[in-house]
Amino acid sequence: MLAIDPEKKLSFTRRISDGDLVIIYERHDSMKAVRVCDGSVLQNRFGVFKHSDWIGKPFGTKVFSNKGGFIYLLAPTPELWTLVLSHRTQILYIADISFVIMYLEIVPGCVVLESGTGSGSLTTSLARAVAPKGHVYTFDFHEQRAASARGDLEKTGLSSLVTVGVRDIQGEGFPDEFAGMVDSVFLDLPQPWLAIPSADIRTFEILLRAYEVREGTMEGCKGDDGVSIGALPRKRRQRSSEGSNVQEFQRSSIAMARPCAEAKGHTGYLTFARLKCS
Amino acid sequence: MAGTNNQIDSVQNPRMTWEGCSVLLDINDGDRLVFARLSAAAKLKIGNKNCSLQPLIGCSFGSVFRVETGIGGPYLSRFNPSSEGNNDKENNGFQSKEESRDNRALVDDNKAQSLTGEDIDAMRREGATGDEIVEALIANSATFEKKTLFSQEKYRIKKQKKYAPKVLLRRPLARSICEAYFKKYPARIGFLRVDTLSLLLSMANVFANSEVLVVDMVGGLLTGAVAERMGGMGHVCSTYAGNAPYPMEIVRIFNFGIDICKSILRSSLDSLSSSKNGTSKQIGEHDDSLSVEGGLKDQTSPVCPEEICDESENGKSNILLEDSLSPVIRSCKSVKAGEKAPEEVVKLWKENGFSSLIVAAPDLDPWSLVKDLLPLLASSATFAIYHQFLQPLATCMHNLQLEKMAIGLQISEPWLREYQVLPSRTHPCMQMSAFGGYILSGTKICNV
């Protein structure tokens, strides 16, 4: 997912090759992660797609099925991963994730602790933030979940940046070896206040309202200069004399935006604090 | 703390201040926010007292200072937070007690306090500390005992702010710089709220070793935030339409070391978009070099060094403190952030494309920018466009759809609400920012 080797620079200026993880984009609300495997096929409602057709193409390419249906092949990012990962728990979404990274002041080289790992949605973004020299130590008390998270990190190519441990952090605390070593800690636990003495405590709720945009036609009155929104065909425009009560209407198309009817109304409260200065 | 030194030169511990380092001073829990550069000569006016910033050098970020009065006049003294911490804990217990007091007996006749201004001045002359004055005020208040515990606490905090002001030493990072500007001079950063900024960085997939194109008309905050995320690996290219680069004075508030300064480059949109044949490119370069100097002039203009207070009219010179740089810092500054992008880097960008694009240009039309910028991105690159108004973004998104330039397009409006959290008194804070702007995000697709 990340170009950790500075020699390689951009991971996605590379062409798609056998074994790569790609995000299959059907629509904005319909995506999945697929590992490219020469000889295998992807079958969906648009038809059958041969992986061999994808190899050698750049990321971001539109590819066609046997029936002429198409999908896009995107380079994986933590944001896309959050949308396609398999949910083993409730996950954090982009609004919370981005705010957590910013508020925990995570920069390349940081050492970050996280508990619980859950489905690894935040973990993926934490790994991106600390790369290439930092490290994320994430803990979950659920053995199987930790193993699945390790598998996912292997898939996304981030396993060198993240260590997944099995431990009940709320009960046992973080391992002693981390004392004094860590830049930031993220806790998603039922009783986080058992954790640390801290200062500057602030709590937030963050939401993201999405807007949908479509082309709309507006009935516009030609007589009035003020109503011309969008590109009106000027040629056909007529000047209406003052006092004329003949109103001419024409159709003009503009982009119109409105909030999406459904949204994630609440994802959680985020509380931030700073370790007291000794 | 491990590993953070690549953010700053290895000589400096980024968690401790040093002479010449840039700091954010938070006075009385955000009442006043001041950017300063630490030096022996730097002074800060708190209330009516001028205090030297010398005691702040070599301290951990996060330290709290109080103004004390000594023989040589007022000075800043390190305040031990542990005693305050204990207070907090005791105070937190009060809600559980049965509360029978209320405000029925309070009359606002200005007679409750029996200590006069002269009494307080006399106490000061005798060397009373701020805390002692606060205690005296409480002891001499006829109404304090009748107040509810909650309102007693409010009274105490109010008096402490006046008689025992505290200064919190903060690291100037994208988060704190954005919050400080948003609070004090929001127009200068295009009303870019911290959660919006953090979304831009995530949506554009900014990380070490990426090549990020930005249009930063928010004073350099965006450029600085991107550079901070990249830790000096890869490049951030601040591009501009026309001849004059956009000012990026906020970049200098970050304590960037040489690597990060080097990773911040400028290039005009003309020279980035020019085709590989010579003529048009040379014109672009020529414009570029001319304008860089013009742009820097406004950064290096002499600024009054020590003093910055938000009451002042001319905020620009207040925010930037450049006078008393130590030799250490001066040597770092030989590498200036925002140099003109070298030929070979521009060539690399033209060949490979940028991996991310972020636009924060409050006064420009997004579509007219994006239609020229998007072709500069690598295929599958992610982008995020910030704007305060919805309609220009809606038009931009619609055009991107029509032109089939990008997918995964979405307009989002971030919404952030801070809460007061106290037993039985948890609720959203009374004051909130009601608007954080809009973001159009998406992924560029291959146009072949």
- Give percent of chain B above pLDDT 90: 52
Highest mean pLDDT among A130-139, B110-119, B282-291: A130-139
Q: What pLDDT shows up at residue B84?
A: 47
Q: What pLDDT shows up at residue B409?
A: 96
Tell whether B83 lies on the interface with A, counting CB pairs under 8 A: no
- Give percent of chain B above pLDDT 70: 79
- The arithmetic mean of pLDDT across residues A127-143, rounded, is 95
- The arithmetic mean of pLDDT across residues B94-107, rounded, is 65
Q: What pLDDT shows up at residue B98?
A: 58
In a domain, residue A53? The reply is: yes
- The arithmetic mean of pLDDT across residues B179-202, rounded, is 96
pLDDT band at B225 (very low <50, low <70, confident <90, very high): very high
**Cα separation, B19 vs B304, whole angstroms:** 18
Are residues A246 and A118 located together in one domain of the fold?
A: no
Instruction: Mark which residues 161-190 of B lie under 8 Å from A by CB.
Output: 171, 173-175
Are residues A271 and A146 located together in one domain of the fold?
A: yes
Joined together, the tokens standing for residue A115 give 């508990």
Are residues A219 and A251 located together in one domain of the fold?
A: yes
Helix H or strand E segment including B414: strand B406-420
Are residues A97 and A182 located together in one domain of the fold?
A: yes
In a domain, residue A190? The reply is: yes
- The arithmetic mean of pLDDT across residues B414-439, rounded, is 92
Which of B218 and B138 is assigned the larger pLDDT? B218
In a domain, residue A10? The reply is: no
Which of A163 and B121 is assigned the larger pLDDT? A163
Are residues A246 and A122 located together in one domain of the fold?
A: no
Q: What pLDDT shows up at residue B92?
A: 47
Are residues A159 and A91 located together in one domain of the fold?
A: yes
**Is A122 annotated as a binding-site member?**
yes
Residue A184 contacts residue A110 (beta carbons within 8 Å): yes
In a domain, residue A100? The reply is: yes
In this predicted structure, the answer to whether residue B81 has a pLDDT above a threshold of 70 is: no
> Which domains are assigned to chain B?
101-161 (no CATH), 174-444 (3.40.50.150)
Candidates B367, B386, B295, B399; CA nearest to B338 is B295
CA distances from residue B300 to A152, A174, B223, B250, B296 in whole angstroms, order as listed: 50, 48, 18, 13, 6
ipTM over 0.90: no
In this predicted structure, the answer to whether residue B322 has a pLDDT above a threshold of 90 is: no
Residue B2 to residue A183, Cβ atoms within 8 A:
yes
- The arithmetic mean of pLDDT across residues B403-418, rounded, is 95
In a domain, residue A101? The reply is: yes
CATH number for position A56: 3.10.330.20
In a domain, residue A239? The reply is: yes
In this predicted structure, the answer to whether residue B10 has a pLDDT above a threshold of 70 is: no
Are residues A90 and A202 located together in one domain of the fold?
A: yes
Residue B250 contacts residue B315 (beta carbons within 8 Å): no
Are residues A72 and A93 located together in one domain of the fold?
A: no
Mean pLDDT over the full length of chain B: 81
Shortest Cα distance, chain A CAs vs residue B387, angstroms: 14
Are residues A33 and A84 located together in one domain of the fold?
A: no
Number of structural domains (chain A) is: 3
In a domain, residue A156? The reply is: yes
In a domain, residue A119? The reply is: yes
Helix H or strand E segment including B377: strand B377-387
Helix H or strand E segment including B288: helix B278-300
**Is A188 annotated as a binding-site member?**
yes
- The arithmetic mean of pLDDT across residues B39-67, rounded, is 90
Highest mean pLDDT among A96-105, A187-196, B90-99: A96-105
**Contacts A210 to B, Cβ<8 Å:** 410-413
Are residues A54 and A143 located together in one domain of the fold?
A: no
Best mutation target among B61, B193, B209 (most A Cβ atoms within 10 Å) is B209
pLDDT band at B319 (very low <50, low <70, confident <90, very high): very low
Tell whether B403 lies on the interface with A, counting CB pairs under 8 A: no
Are residues A97 and A200 located together in one domain of the fold?
A: yes
Q: What pLDDT shows up at residue B106?
A: 73
In this predicted structure, the answer to whether residue B85 has a pLDDT above a threshold of 50 is: no
What are A225-278's pLDDT values in tens digits? 444 444 444 444 444 444 444 444 555 678 899 999 888 888 899 999 888 776
CATH number for position A119: 3.40.50.150
Are residues A133 and A232 located together in one domain of the fold?
A: no
Range of the domain at A128: 80-207+267-275
**Contacts A59 to B, Cβ<8 Å:** 379-380, 446
